[in-house]
Every structure is written in C-alpha cells, then in structure tokens.
Amino acid sequence: MRNITIIIITGLSGSGKSTAIRALEDIGFFCVDNLPPALLPKFIELCKASSGEFSKIAMVMDVRGGTFLKEYPNILRDLREKGQKIKILFLESSDEVLVRRFKETRRQHPLEKKGSVLEGIKEERDKLSGLRMHASEIMDSSSFTVHQLRELITQFFSEFAEERRMTIILTSFGYKFGIPYDVDLVMDVRFLPNPFFVSELRNLSGNDERVYKYVMKNEVAESFRKKFIALINFLIPQYEKEGKTYFNMGVGCTGGQHRSVAVINCLEKHLSKKKYPLRIVHRDIEKT
C-alpha cells in the first residue's frame, strides 16, 4: 500500500478548525470532521487501498472525540512506525478572543458545563497541552478574520493544492416566471431588441443564429456586451480569490426564450476561451 498525505486539525474550540477544514477541502483534500480515534487506523488503510481517490485526507480531531486525548499518542506512534507521515495543525487563540467569539455566536463551549466560558477554555487548554507539544505547526488565529485564516491555511498547504478553477453557471430565465433563487448576480436585458415582436422570430429561441443576430448585432447590444464582459472579467478573479467554488450568473428577459438566451450564449463563447468549467442552464426556454 502507498502512503497518503494526512493532516490532523486540532486545537481550541473557537480557534478556526471548521474554517481550516473547509479551506483544505477546497484545495482537494477528502475531509472528515470529528472521526472517532479508534477508527483512524482502519480509515487510513481504506484510503490507502483506494485507487488514488483518497490520496490526501484531512480530519478534525479534538475534545469532542472523547477518548481522543488518551488514545492519540499510541495511535500516532503506531502509524509513524509503519512509515506513515502525519502533519498535526494545532489552532489556538487568546482567551479574550475565544470568549468574544463564543458570545458573538451564542455557542456553548464543549467544556463549559455549569461554569463560565472562560473556565471551559482554560480546562480545554490544559487538556490539549500535551497534544500541542506534538504539533507539526501551531497557528494563533487571534488576529485573523475568517477570510484571512482561510487564505493562510490555503497558502500554507499550497504544495498539496490541486489546480482548481471556479465553476461558472450561466442561467437564462424569464422574469414572468420569477428570478432563480440560487443566482449570485442578476442582469436584466429587457432593454435589448425583442424578437417576440418579429413574426418570423417569435417561435424561435436565442439558440437560433437569426435570433442571436437580431438581439446582439446592433449598437446598443455591442456597447452592452463590451461593458458587461469587462465587469465579468473583473468580478470572476475576485470571487475566486475569496474562495468561491461556484458562481451562478443569471440573465433575465421577459419570457426567458430570446434575449436572455442569446446573451448567455454570448457569455459562454467568451468564458470558454478562458478555460473555466461552465454549465449552461436555459431555464425557461421551453415555457410559454
């Protein structure tokens, strides 16, 4: 069996473990939250036996795991004796920051019980002190926002990152059927020439070349196309930088059959040249 990349994320509650695991998932890791420690060796065996699908795994293991703090020394020693390399990322923050985070989110600290949040933090810090000594990397997230911590994790583990580009979904729709609930950006193109009022074009769709030319081959449409594409060219890299994996852009006209379809097809031609993963949805093209 081949070795795989294993990262264990642990540390204090409220220090950003959930943010870290999501960042690793976004760069291609198979992620598991709160795996029972007794299952770790068997889980690793199953991943090794896979055909490469699970070559990089990350898991959160902390005080919620019950026996984790008692079992981890023997488990890690056995795995390392077998030649398995394991990185342990330990996340922590100051008491003041952790107390504030729990108050803001109104979450209960796992060790709070009947005491205060601060007492729970101190108890957890004491329980994790031994594990902290075995950490490959210790990160203090006190001064980081969620986005900054996510970016730091991504950069730190960039050697394991897969080359992933954001998937772009282009959706045409008709306003009379409602705006799609899952779109991130909506563009109204009801100002463009409407083929519905041209008898020979009315029963066609924006997929037809004649309709496409009627909608897009005029001075207003050409000016709009250049400005809209410039906006898209600016926005997409910003969304990718923010960590979005999907971006759904909706373009709407009255019925969703002519103008919105033509504009979406125009955007598809442009974005396909940039090698983005694309999905085209003409939601209302068959409706009347």
3-class DSSP state for residue 74? helix
Residues 188 and 261 in one domain: yes
pLDDT value of residue 186? 96
Written as six digits, the tokens of 274 are: 């940039």
Residues 145 and 255 in one domain: no
Percentage of the chain beyond pLDDT 70 is 93
Containing H/E element for 195?
none
- Integer distance in angstroms from the first to the last C-alpha of the chain? 58
Residues 17 and 143 in one domain: yes
Instruction: With cut-offs at 50, 70 and 90, classify the pLDDT of residue 230.
Output: very high
Residues 131 and 232 in one domain: no
Per-position b or e across 256-288, b if 16+ CB within 10 A of its CB: bbbbbbbbbbbbbeebeeeebeeeebbbbbeee
Last residue of a domain, one of 113, 139, 160: 160
pLDDT value of residue 2? 62
pLDDT value of residue 266? 95
Residues 75 and 182 in one domain: no
Instruction: With cut-offs at 50, 70 and 90, classify the pLDDT of residue 227.
Output: very high
pLDDT value of residue 215? 96
Q: Is the pLDDT of residue 1 over 60?
A: no
The answer to the question of residue 235 being in a domain is yes
Chain-centroid distance, C-alpha 280: 20
Contact 204, 212 (CB under 8 A): no
Q: What is the mean pLDDT of the chain?
A: 86
Residues 49 and 108 in one domain: yes
Residues 9 and 120 in one domain: yes
pLDDT value of residue 105? 77
Residue 191's contacts (CB-CB under 8 Å, 6 or more residues apart) are 220, 224
pLDDT value of residue 115? 65
Higher pLDDT residue, 60 or 108? 60
The answer to the question of residue 287 being in a domain is no
The answer to the question of residue 31 being in a domain is yes
Last residue of a domain, one of 144, 160, 176: 160
Q: Is the pLDDT of residue 257 over 90?
A: yes
pLDDT value of residue 68? 66
Residue 150's contacts (CB-CB under 8 Å, 6 or more residues apart) are 19, 20, 22, 23, 243
Total structural domains within the chain: 2
3-class DSSP state for residue 143? coil
Contact 89, 20 (CB under 8 A): yes
pLDDT value of residue 150? 86
Strand-pairing partners, residue 172, are: 251, 282
User: What is the tens place of the pLDDT at every residue in 163-211?
Assistant: 567 889 999 999 999 999 888 999 999 999 999 999 999 999 999 999 9
Instruction: With cut-offs at 50, 70 and 90, classify the pLDDT of residue 102.
Output: confident
Choose the weakest-confidence range: 15-29, 96-110, 115-129, 158-172.
158-172
The CATH number for 34's domain is: 3.40.50.300
User: What does the alpha-carbon distance between residue 23 and residue 21 come to, in Å, rounded to a whole number?
Assistant: 5
- What's at 215, amino acid-wise? V
Residues 198 and 57 in one domain: no
Percentage of the chain beyond pLDDT 90 is 38
Structural domain that includes position 173: 167-282
Which of 36-45, 85-94, 202-211 shows the highest mean pLDDT? Answer: 202-211
Residues 156 and 200 in one domain: no
- DSSP per position, 29-50: -EEEES--GGGHHHHHHHHHHS
Last residue of a domain, one of 131, 160, 189: 160
Residues 11 and 97 in one domain: yes
Long-range contacts of 265-272 (CB under 8 A, 24+ apart): 265/206, 265/207, 265/212, 266/212, 266/216, 266/225, 267/170, 267/228, 267/229, 267/232, 268/170, 270/229, 270/232, 271/168, 271/170, 271/232
Q: What is the pTM of this model?
A: 0.58
Residues 47 and 75 in one domain: yes
Residues 52 and 130 in one domain: yes
Per-residue pLDDT, averaged over 122-145, amounts to 87
Higher pLDDT residue, 238 or 109? 238
The answer to the question of residue 205 being in a domain is yes
